[in-house]
Amino acid sequence: MAFASVSPLYNRLKEREERNLQSAVLLRTLVVDEFLAGAKDMALQIASRTRARNLLISYNQGEINKEEFIAASTPIIEDALNQSKDLVGISRLDANSNLAIQVGKRIPPFLGEIPKLNTNEAIVGRPIQLDGEQYLVVGAPIINSNGERVGTDLVLLTTFSLQRIVKDYLGLGETGETILGAVDNGEAVLFFPLRDSTQTPSDLLKNTFEKTVAGDTGLLKDENRGTEENVIAFGAITESNWGIIVKMNPNELYASVNQEIVKIAAIVVILSLLGTVGMVLLLRPLAGQAIIKTDELEREVEEKERLLTEKTTALELEQNRRILVEQVLQQMDELNASSRQVAEAGLVAGNSAKKMLNLVEGGTAAVSRTLEGMNMLKENVRAIAKQTTSLSQSTQEIGKIILLVSEVANQTNMLALNAAVEAVRAGEQGKGFAVVAAEIRKLADQSRNSTARITSVLAEIEKLIHSTVIATNEGIKTVAQSVQIAQETELVFDSFRDVVSQVVARSQEISLSTQEQATAIQQVVDAIKVINHERTTLIMRKH
pLDDT for position 283:
47
The Cα-based distances of 493 to 42, 374, 453, 485 in angstroms read 77, 18, 59, 12
Dist CA 504 CA 506 (whole Å): 5
pLDDT of residue 180 exceeding 80, the answer is: yes
Residue by residue, DSSP assigns 265-279 as HHHHHHHHHHHHHHH
% of residues, the chain, pLDDT over 90: 11
Query: What is the dihedral sign for C-alpha 355, 357, 360, 364?
Result: negative
Higher pLDDT, 299 or 210: 210
pLDDT for position 285:
54
Count other Cβ atoms within 10 Å, centred on residue 543.
11
Dist CA 112 CA 123 (whole Å): 10
Q: pLDDT for 132-156, tens place per residue? A: 888 989 999 999 988 889 999 999 9
Q: By C-alpha distance, which of 137, 24, 28 is closest to 90?
A: 137
pLDDT of residue 108 exceeding 90, the answer is: no
Higher pLDDT, 158 or 398: 158
Q: pLDDT for 369-378, tens place per residue? A: 777 777 777 7
Q: By C-alpha distance, which of 75, 15, 423, 480 is closest to 221?
A: 15
| H/E segment holding residue 503 | helix 431-542
pLDDT for position 55:
92
pLDDT for position 64:
92
pLDDT of residue 101 exceeding 90, the answer is: yes
**pLDDT interval class at 70 (50, 70, 90):** very high
3-state secondary structure of 151: strand
pLDDT of residue 67 exceeding 90, the answer is: yes
Q: Within 13 Å and on the Cβ side, how many CA atoms surround 5?
A: 11
| Alpha-carbon 18 to chain mean position | 42
Q: Which amino acid is at 259?
A: Q
pLDDT for position 197:
65
pLDDT of residue 45 exceeding 70, the answer is: yes
Dist CA 407 CA 399 (whole Å): 12
- Of 108-122, 141-155, 223-237, least confident by mean pLDDT is 223-237
Mean pLDDT for the chain overall: 76
pLDDT for position 87:
92
The mean pLDDT of 403-409, rounded to a whole number, is 76
CB 525 within 8 Å of CB 333? yes
Q: Within 13 Å and on the Cβ side, how many CA atoms surround 505?
A: 6
pLDDT for position 225:
41
CB 543 within 8 Å of CB 314? yes
Secondary structure of 400-431 in the HEC alphabet?
HHHHHHHHHHHHHHHHHHHHHHHHHHHHHHHH
**pTM for this prediction:** 0.49
Q: pLDDT for 231-261, tens place per residue? A: 888 888 887 788 888 888 888 877 777 777 7
Q: pLDDT for 73-93, tens place per residue? A: 999 999 988 888 889 999 999
- Of 65-74, 144-153, 167-176, least confident by mean pLDDT is 167-176
- Of 43-52, 248-257, 513-522, least confident by mean pLDDT is 513-522
pLDDT for position 63:
92
Task: Give the strands of the sheet with 227-236, arranged side by side.
Answer: 187-190, 177-184, 243-248, 227-236, 218-224
- Of 214-228, 430-444, 468-482, least confident by mean pLDDT is 214-228
pLDDT of residue 7 exceeding 70, the answer is: yes
pLDDT of residue 537 exceeding 70, the answer is: no
Q: pLDDT for 257-288, tens place per residue? A: 777 777 776 766 676 666 555 554 554 554 45
3-state secondary structure of 235: strand
The mean pLDDT of 321-327, rounded to a whole number, is 67
Higher pLDDT, 518 or 465: 465
CB 150 within 8 Å of CB 60? yes
pLDDT for position 104:
92
**Contact partners, residue 298, CB within 8 Å, separation at least 6:** none
pLDDT for position 269:
67
**Contact partners, residue 274, CB within 8 Å, separation at least 6:** none
pLDDT of residue 43 exceeding 60, the answer is: yes
The mean pLDDT of 417-443, rounded to a whole number, is 74
The mean pLDDT of 522-529, rounded to a whole number, is 69
The mean pLDDT of 287-310, rounded to a whole number, is 60
Count other Cβ atoms within 10 Å, centred on residue 279.
10
Q: By C-alpha distance, which of 79, 142, 70, 150 is closest to 102?
A: 70
pLDDT of residue 514 exceeding 90, the answer is: no
Q: Which residues pair with 136 in a beta bridge?
A: 157
The mean pLDDT of 447-475, rounded to a whole number, is 78
Q: pLDDT for 489-505, tens place per residue? A: 777 777 767 776 776 67
Dist CA 175 CA 248 (whole Å): 6
**pLDDT interval class at 227 (50, 70, 90):** very low
Buried b (16+ CB within 10 A) or exposed e, 321-356: eeeebeeebeebeeebeebbebbeebbebbeebbeb
CB 166 within 8 Å of CB 173? no
- Helices first, then strands: H and E counts in the chain: 9, 11
The mean pLDDT of 210-224, rounded to a whole number, is 74
In angstroms, the first-to-last Cα distance of the chain is: 41
